[in-house]
A and B are shown apart, each in its own frame.
Chain A
């Protein structure tokens, strides 16, 4: 029986020889159980060792293999050839990020944004280890758990036209991470972080496109985190009007 084949276009960019990215087509045997990431590994092992892409865990935990699959932000390990077969598949590096090389993007800005929101518990009072742990009930944990599921894959930034238009926008994942800490009962850094939320490039940079929540592979729902913060931010504004610092 003749082998079934599938075409995969990859947007290639090698900075040492290319001035601009261009598509290159590869033809590989179609396998019902092959993920897009495995297809890339096949291409790299069997057809062209110069193709660059990031990957690690192969199971939607590490957040490394984010890329545009037929124009949509996806984790390479979480989509399969069968989802697209018999159509051609086009792979491009994550949108809205500069291309480092082939499917690898520069994520520095994204990482800086994650760091900028004080992503650590700021307790009301420091306790020594001898005083024991900070106690939390399952109910208190439920308030933030969803927002703690982020794997920093960057798909939501690739989905966000507001980030595309204005790179100053704090963006979906960083604001969700901010929600994760502000909603934590052990944390007392809420007021500090609300300054980031209230800023021009904070939640008000969002126009509720909502695609970030659609593409999130972990169900974090960044759009919800941001809309809830808009309510908080509006309350902050009103309170500040009557009670200036």
Chain B
């Protein structure tokens, strides 16, 4: 008779706290929750704008609340973290070959930062103009 009795280990629910790599991954993915909240607040603002100047002003006043500022700061930090981690992973989803050689990771990552810088500058110019 076989003495085999393979033992299955259970995955603890806090598996993502056991290793920094997993924790960072969960923060990266978890950032989407606060970013969704940010998008909803923004969408709410557009809705309030459609309701007239008073409604719009009330929404703007809401944003000056310390809790709102704190939330937006947290969103900014997480969005930046997501951006940095995403850009560093971007080369894995790129399969660019030039003259029979695979493009190195570095130019792909730098390209993403250049695109981010350009869009940020364009957005700031538009905001400054109006």
- Assess whether A98 is in contact with B8, with CB atoms less than 8 Å apart: yes
**What string of 1s and 0s marks CB contacts (under 8 Å) between B98-124 and chain A?**
001110000000000000000000000
Q: Which of B6, B92, B102 makes the CB contact (< 8 A) with A142?
A: B102
Q: Which residues of B contact A20 (CB under 8 A)?
A: 7
Q: Which residues of A contact B65 (CB under 8 A)?
A: none
Interface size of B as a range: 20 to 34
**What string of 1s and 0s marks CB contacts (under 8 Å) between B10-54 and chain A?**
010001101101100100010000000000000000000000000
- Assess whether B19 is in contact with A72, with CB atoms less than 8 Å apart: yes
Q: Could you tell me the distance in whole angstroms from the C-beta of B14 to the nearest C-beta in chain A?
A: 12
- Assess whether A211 is in contact with B93, with CB atoms less than 8 Å apart: no
How far apart sit A96 and B67, CA to CA, in the bound complex (Å)?
42
B residues sitting closer than 8 Å to A (CB atoms) are 3-9, 11, 15-16, 18-19, 21-22, 25, 29, 89, 91-93, 95, 97, 100-102
The answer, yes or no, to whether A79 is at the interface (CB within 8 Å) is: no
> What is the interface size of chain A, counting residues whose CB is below 8 A from a CB of the partner?
34
Q: Could you tell me the distance in whole angstroms from the C-beta of B25 to the nearest C-beta in chain A?
A: 5
The answer, yes or no, to whether A209 is at the interface (CB within 8 Å) is: yes
- Beyond the given pairs A15-B4, A21-B9, 14 more chain A to chain B contacts, judged by CB atoms under 8 angstroms and listed by A's residue number, are A20-B7, A71-B18, A72-B19, A98-B9, A99-B9, A100-B6, A142-B102, A161-B11, A161-B22, A207-B29, A209-B21, A211-B19, A224-B92, A231-B93
- Assess whether B22 is in contact with A211, with CB atoms less than 8 Å apart: yes
A residues sitting closer than 8 Å to B (CB atoms) are 13, 15-16, 20-21, 71-72, 95-96, 98-100, 106, 138-139, 142-143, 161, 164-165, 207-211, 213-214, 221, 223-224, 227-228, 230-231
How far apart sit A210 and B20, CA to CA, in the bound complex (Å)?
13
